[in-house]
A and B are shown apart, each in its own frame.
Chain A
Amino acid sequence: MSFVLNTHVGQRRSKRWIVPVVYIVFLMLPLYWLLMMSFKTNQEILSTFSLWPREFTLQNYITILSDSSWYSGYINSMIYVVMNTVISLAVALPAAYAFSRYRFLGDKHLFFWLLTNRMAPPAVFVLPFFQLYSAFGLIDTHIAVALAHCLFNVPLAVWILEGFMSSVPREIDETAYIDGYSFPRFFTKIFTPLIAPGIGVAAFFCFMFSWVELLIARTLTVTDAKPISAIMTRTVSASGLDWGVLAAAGMLTVIPGALVIYFVRNHIAKGFALGRV
């Protein structure tokens, strides 16, 4: 099916892999360094320079996984990230459908206004968010962070989904209505499977931006819902820089992301065939 470039530039194809490989090596070097540091003792990190650990140790990981003030951070982060992804997709799906299929009063202005929220610097919202969520008694709850992250995730989800939905021919909608499908049934049975790759990509982006955000998440939480990345900063300043533990904690924040992209990859790969229709 797809011999996009090897049919076209047959002879040069042999060298093309160099670009992605060099790029990936560049991406992996700092991560390799972090991984190696997480297996070293703090003393070794500070005293000798070595490309791999001389005394291999798992102590850094044990420190984190046996202390609830560390590992609860991971659980908190996961809870609000999943909440946020579900809320964002649930409200963005119908809205994206409206934008891709209908014209209505003020649609273009509304679409751009939504995007402006994605453009708002989080630094601007830190103080007002704190006051708003205090007023509702939501400080230090997972739902507060999930709702706050909707500020930038919902517009992005609408935008991505609108793009995918617009690539589905309108004739499909019309045929389904003629065949007697009601709107909710059409949407769940026919339309959603068609744009599944789009939903996967949107979910990936929601997860990503919620997982990596720190400034707002840190402001809205105290202890019960504190994300792991905030716990890291606190420990760094308090314990006199235990580089090994810091590296191990960093490595552990990479893992959920790696899992998510691994699952989305399958989703996208399946979706590519559909996208060509």
Chain B
Amino acid sequence: MKSWNNKAWFLVLPVLLLVAFSAIVPLITVVNYSVQDSFGNNEFYWVGLEWFKEVLESERFHNALMRNLLFSAIILLIEIPLGIAVALAMPRRGWGVSVCLVLMALPLLIPWNVVGTIWQVFARVDIGLLGYSLTQLGFDYNYTQDVVDAWVTLVIMDVWHWTSLVVLLCYSGLVSIPQAYYQAARIDGASRWAVFRYIQLPKMRRVLVIAVLLRFMDSFMIYTEPFVVTGGGPGNSTTFLSIDLVQMAIGQFDLGPAAAMSLIYFLIILVVSWVFYTVMTQQDAEPSSGRGQSS
């Protein structure tokens, strides 16, 4: 197993210094704001946990939080299975691999506000292909007016934007499975489902942890795309936490509540990600996973 060596700290030191500079110092500033109030002129006085109480009790925060949780849940339920399915069906060799990889990765490398712009245009009923086609087909579709349409547009946009990440991660997990496993499974006469359940899924666990964590975190922090496409509307129906937060911090310049909300927001992400991480890596640590199950 791994050897105990405290000198390894020296190898970690550069990362620590860099991240300390870009994470700890700003975080201290946020904590500082969250417990103080100001009347301008840089005069601050202590208010304790007042802002936290105010944020936690406000209707506005609850609603934004529920919208965000719902959005993340929908996203994960669609993108993870779809990503696995596409990865399983991808070719393993030949020219098809490169074509698939390059084309699928394209949406990932488009700046987020451009993604928003693309979908804003694509879904418009007057000049967009999607909106125009849907209207011609007789659907009453308008994402700027109708809440359901706005949500459907955002979900499809996110599926378009991010499913490829899940596909790429699963695919890299799949190709690392040694051929011997499949041969063993074939000799045992395992069904297609058994191969997936007992060979491919356990071997993909590590990349799936990454995929689920990344997708949860990023969908929970989503800002730019919905901001560009719907601007949080119609009404407040697509105002997610980040949009609400930026509105509060920069739009209204309510530093205290905004800082308190930031910390609560951060804490929620932390807790949920920690649960994901422990559950999924604990299964990883069990000695029976992988090799033992392949027969």
Contact = CB atoms under 8 A, between A and B. Distances in A.
Interface residues of B, number: 102
A208 B109 contact: yes
Given A28-B103, A118-B217, 15 more contacts: A4-B182, A8-B182, A20-B91, A49-B132, A98-B8, A103-B3, A104-B8, A151-B22, A158-B15, A212-B111, A229-B112, A236-B117, A254-B109, A257-B108, A275-B176
A250 B121 CA distance: 12
B249 to A, nearest CB: 6
A259 B245 CA distance: 35
User: Main secondary structure on chain B at its contact with chain A?
Assistant: helix
Interface of B: 2-9, 11-12, 14-16, 18-19, 21-23, 25-27, 29-30, 82, 85-86, 88-93, 96-98, 100-114, 117-119, 121-122, 126-130, 132, 160, 163-164, 167, 172, 174-179, 182, 185-186, 192, 195, 206, 210, 213, 217, 220-221, 223-224, 241-242, 245-246, 249-250, 255, 258, 262-263, 265-266, 269-270, 273-274, 277
Given A20-B86, A27-B164, A258-B109, A104 B25 contact: no
Contacts of A37: 121
Contacts of A30: 118-119, 122, 129-130, 160
A229 B114 contact: yes
A35 to B, nearest CB: 10
Given A20-B100, A114-B19, A268 B109 contact: no
28 contacts: A2-B179, A8-B192, A16-B89, A17-B91, A20-B90, A23-B163, A27-B106, A30-B129, A87-B18, A94-B14, A103-B5, A112-B274, A119-B266, A119-B269, A125-B30, A127-B249, A127-B250, A132-B25, A159-B210, A167-B176, A201-B172, A213-B111, A214-B111, A214-B224, A229-B111, A229-B112, A256-B109, A258-B109
Interface in A1-58: 1-5, 7-9, 16-20, 23-24, 26-31, 33-34, 37, 45-46, 49, 51
Q: Which of A29, A49, A131 has the most CB of B within 10 A?
A: A49
A116 B266 CA distance: 9
